[in-house]
Structure 1
């Protein structure tokens, strides 16, 4: 099966790259520049949002980093990164929290969007506050739980873990107990290191 990966090293494509390395897939990388290249008719035919990442796997198009992680987990079951039946609740719960309310809270806060100081309005936002999101993620890791689904690393850790790692790196997520140890566990994975090296090699030279 042919697998093509559209990305930019300064994007959420890093999450998809990590997942591709975790499943051990053979893939072709196509780096798209921000601006006209991502908005070209050819690419918009694949992803009308005009952004990366995206993959085309045997003719099937998948966009959105969380969706790509989930799709690849099921497309390559031999990698063992899809949830077992008793892991599905945690898998989907925390993956969708990070991709929905979590990303929304981080993005809104980074742009200085302040929610009204009213409980009803905050409830309508879907996340309430950035601190609420951080507290929820910390609760996920409470009691020494090493990964999203418990004792075993899954595709959910690629996405949720990337959000926590980036939040710590760029200061966009409040610190909470467990975050640093979790991020360290994930960063030590061989696939994560390979993916990071591949994307770093694509970064534009400074100066």
Structure 2
């Protein structure tokens, strides 16, 4: 049995999305983004008190990227990973881990907004814009059927980066980057993405749809 410990709109959302794409049986243990993640019971699953945590076959895992790599290797028949000798393996790893670069910007933006650090927000928005530029550049590469980050098609790195962009769009829109915007619409049109969205009554990480930089 697979159990995912999940906070809506957090990094665990990308694992929830992946599990939906893998079409495997799993359960979700919901959590709120509060101090309950510091309880000893949860810390035994994730020592830093962060989601995602995954219980699988009597073992535990923590860290979204590690979980994604493991699940793709465990269920290779869905084609969401890339094996070590696959020509796209290097690129798959690069973009899979790039998701954490994007989310790192979001983490700083959330903290800066909470304490009214306007300059810190502006600095981090500039870094996030560079991340968007990197995705736009990748998707603009002139190859046939460039619909996804990999030439070989949809994969877990689209899920990871796509969910990171989902979080980032609470602070920086993508409208001025046409390839990024079209890719984001393409991947978030999948049923598994819709299933990973928070329920209407869920306690969310983001209380607003968009956070403007405060004046000052």
The answer to whether TM tops 0.5 is yes
Residue matched to 2:189: 188
Number of equivalences = 191
Alignment of 1:48-67 (within 5 A): 48-67=47-66
CA contact (8 A) 1:134 1:173 kept: no
Pair 1:24–1:95, CA change in 2 (3 A)? same
Alignment of 1:24-173 (within 5 A): 24-84=23-83, 85-100=86-101, 102-110=102-110, 111=112, 112=117, 114=120, 129-143=127-141, 145-168=146-169, 170-172=170-172
> Equivalent residue of 1:42, what SS?
helix
Pair 1:28–1:105, CA change in 2 (3 A)? closer
Tell me by how many angstroms 1:204 deviates: 4.7
String of CA shifts for 1:79-106, please: whole Å, max 9, x gaps. 1111141111110111222213x33334
> Equivalent residue of 2:55, what SS?
strand
Q: How many Å separate the matches in 2 of 1:46 and 1:157?
A: 27
Tell me by how many angstroms 1:177 deviates: 2.8
Query: Scaled by the length of structure 1, what TM-score is found?
Result: 0.80
> Equivalent residue of 1:5, what SS?
strand
Pair 1:29–1:189, CA change in 2 (3 A)? same
Residue matched to 2:212: none
CA contact (8 A) 2:2 2:25 kept: yes
Structure 2 runs not aligned, ≥5 long: 208-216
Q: How many Å separate the matches in 1 of 2:73 and 2:201?
A: 28
Tell me by how many angstroms 1:201 deviates: 5.4
> Equivalent residue of 2:29, what SS?
strand
CA contact (8 A) 1:3 1:57 kept: yes
Across the aligned residues of Structure 1 and Structure 2, the Cα RMSD in angstroms comes to 2.8
Tell me by how many angstroms 1:34 deviates: 3.2
Pair 1:172–1:36, CA change in 2 (3 A)? same
CA contact (8 A) 1:106 1:173 kept: no
Q: How many Å separate the matches in 1 of 2:74 and 2:53?
A: 15
Residue matched to 2:210: none
Structure 1 runs not aligned, ≥5 long: 118-127
